């Protein structure tokens, strides 16, 4: 429904999946979608992009997730810091979605933040933007370094 609202009904029917299961529209544009709790988020871009949203939960096993999915330096930065945990987790997932890779590669790279902007160590072409102004949620978009970021997430009526 979001894809139809953003691009029109005819485009949504042209969605295919590549060999890794990443959805795409033949002839573009690129898109990524994620959901958590009551929110669904969609990123549409002229370049490959990935998006992730997570509800910030105090009861989630953040230590276990960080042990399996984070680089050792990310684990250290996120230990006892729920905000950093969700920034890192959503950034890593959005990067994997942008690449169309398997989630098992999450611990193999490191995300470095400067406020709500970030980058992937070793890949200067990937940039990250964290949106943490959705009450109780963290959303992250990862896209090509040349993208112009929106000032906020648009919430349709």
- pLDDT tens figures, 17-44: 888 778 888 877 888 999 999 998 888 8
Q: Is residue 53 part of a domain?
A: yes
Instruction: Answer whether 70's CB lies under 8 Å from 79's CB.
Output: no
The answer to whether residue 130 is domain-embedded is yes
Q: Is residue 23 part of a domain?
A: no
Question: Does residue 9 sit within a domain?
Answer: no
Q: Domain with 61 in it: what CATH number?
A: 3.90.470.20
Sign of the CA dihedral with 115 first, then 117, 118, and 123 last:
negative
pTM for this structure? 0.86
Please tell me the distance from the alpha carbon of residue 66 to that of residue 105, in angstroms, as a whole number: 13
> What DSSP element (H or E) covers 135?
none
15 domain-assigned = no
The angle formed by the CA atoms of residues 73, 126 and 43, to the nearest 5 degrees, is 110
pLDDT digits (tens, 9 = 90+) for 85-139: 999 999 999 999 998 887 776 778 899 999 989 999 999 889 999 988 788 999 9
Q: What's the confidence (pLDDT) of residue 144?
A: 83
Domain that holds residue 135: 32-144
Residue 103 belongs to some domain of the structure: yes
pLDDT at 107: 72
Considering its fold, how many domains does the chain have in total? 1
Domain assignment present for residue 152? The answer is no
Residue 148: pLDDT band by 50, 70, 90 thresholds?
Answer: low
């Amino acid at each position: 429904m979001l894809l139809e609202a953003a691009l029109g009904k005819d485009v949504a029917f042209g969605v295919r999946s590549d060999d890794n299961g990443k959805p795409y529209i033949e002839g573009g544009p690129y898109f990524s979608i994620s959901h958590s709790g009551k929110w669904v988020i969609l990123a549409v871009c002229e370049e490959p992009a990935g998006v992730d949203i997570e509800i910030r939960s105090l009861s989630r096993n953040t230590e276990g997730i960080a042990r399996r999915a984070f680089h050792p330096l990310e684990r250290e930065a996120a230990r006892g810091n729920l905000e950093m945990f969700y920034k890192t987790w959503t950034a890593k997932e959005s990067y994997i979605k942008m690449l169309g890779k398997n989630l098992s590669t999450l611990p193999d790279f490191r995300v470095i933040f400067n406020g709500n902007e970030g980058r992937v160590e070793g890949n200067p072409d990937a940039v990250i933007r964290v949106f943490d102004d959705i009450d109780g949620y963290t959303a992250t978009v990862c896209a090509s370094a040349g993208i112009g970021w929106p000032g906020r997430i648009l919430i349709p009526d």
